[in-house]
């Protein structure tokens, strides 16, 4: 009897991560860089922006044994992109001041400081910016304020007015509790709830556990500012003021991002270089889903899209 063995795929190249620190006033912010893998043709510089309930490296540089594309930073650096992420104030390795709630506007200020540091220390040109959930709101507000620093903008799992969002409708029931404290506790059960609240089964257990391990190694509580903003202060973004090329990415099962709400936002974007992508089988945490490969493909295609030759 003859048996055949499936050849093992050799380990894929990765670049070594580099820690950076910059200042927003007196606040120290942590930045993490993974440059393009040596020998690849340079394709641009990406700044990844995290959401409300986790710091940046668990979201964008997650390492899961046996799943070598779990880190979106590794995946893009292998394709020639210099990749960066930043912990917002109050998260991860950045300063944590108990007197602020780290709201959406604060986050846009963090991105202004982070982008200024990158542009001053790397010959990057305007950045490719990706934000997820409240990170999409931070990224969008940053693009409103600093369009000259943004080459292309990707908004994933975003909410505009909150219309049609069952997750936010449920979250508003706890708004008085959120407003009583600057930070809310998180634990492993909370991380699991991110994947179970919309459509259980969209992420595998091994990845969810690794994600929870990475989040909880850095934080046991999170600032409440983005939760409060998303419960009572929407809309925070004016699409008419976002002049850069933009893609809106919406998971099929995402309970945050109401479809009609996002389509109205998309229609109001003034730049004709815009796209709307619905991602099948995806719930809220796109990069940790079973279908993450299609998320990477959509984002890569948008970031590599050539500029139009004719504009009329």
- Break the chain into its structural domains and give their ranges: 20-303
- Two structure tokens written together for 166: 């069952």
Phi-psi region of 20 (alpha: psi -120 to 50; beta: other; left: phi over 0): beta
β-pairing verdict for 18-24 and 221-223: unpaired
3-state secondary structure of 255: coil
Q: Which CATH architecture fits 20-303?
A: 3-Layer(aba) Sandwich (3.40)
- What is the reported pLDDT for 3? 47
For the whole model, what pTM was predicted? 0.95
Mean pLDDT by 10 residues, the chain (312 residues): 47 88 97 96 97 98 93 98 98 90 97 98 96 98 98 98 95 96 96 95 96 98 97 98 98 95 98 98 96 98 95 86
Phi-psi region of 165 (alpha: psi -120 to 50; beta: other; left: phi over 0): beta
- What is the reported pLDDT for 32? 98
The DSSP secondary-structure symbol of 42 reads P
């Amino acid at each position: 009897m003859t048996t055949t063995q499936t050849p093992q795929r050799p380990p894929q190249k990765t670049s070594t991560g580099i820690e950076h620190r910059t200042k927003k006033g007196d606040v120290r912010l942590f930045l993490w860089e993974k440059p393009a893998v040596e020998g690849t043709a340079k394709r641009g510089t990406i700044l990844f922006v995290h959401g409300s309930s986790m710091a940046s490296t668990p979201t964008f540089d997650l390492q899961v044994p046996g799943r070598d594309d779990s880190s979106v930073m590794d995946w893009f650096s292998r394709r020639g992109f210099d990749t960066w992420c930043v912990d917002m104030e109050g998260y991860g390795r950045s300063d944590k001041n108990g007197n602020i709630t780290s709201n959406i506007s604060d986050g846009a200020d963090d991105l202004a400081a982070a982008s200024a540091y990158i542009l001053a220390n790397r010959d990057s040109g305007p950045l490719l910016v990706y934000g997820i959930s409240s990170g999409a709101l931070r990224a969008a507000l940053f693009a409103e304020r600093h369009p000259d620093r943004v080459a292309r903008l990707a908004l994933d799992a975003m909410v505009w007015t909150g219309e049609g969002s069952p997750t936010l409708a449920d979250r508003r029931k706890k708004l008085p509790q959120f407003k009583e404290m600057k930070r809310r506790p998180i634990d492993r059960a909370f991380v699991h709830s991110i994947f179970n609240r919309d459509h259980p089964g969209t992420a595998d257990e091994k990845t969810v556990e690794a994600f929870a391990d990475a989040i909880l190694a850095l934080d046991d509580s999170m600032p409440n500012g983005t939760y409060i903003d998303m419960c009572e202060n929407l809309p925070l973004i004016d699409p008419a003021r976002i002049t850069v090329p933009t893609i809106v990415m919406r998971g099929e099962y995402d309970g945050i991002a109401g479809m009609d709400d996002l389509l109205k936002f998309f229609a109001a974007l003034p730049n004709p270089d815009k796209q709307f992508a619905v991602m099948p089988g995806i719930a809220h945490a796109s990069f940790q889903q079973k279908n993450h490969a299609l998320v990477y493909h959509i984002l890569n295609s948008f970031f590599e899209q050539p500029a139009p030759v004719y504009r009329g």
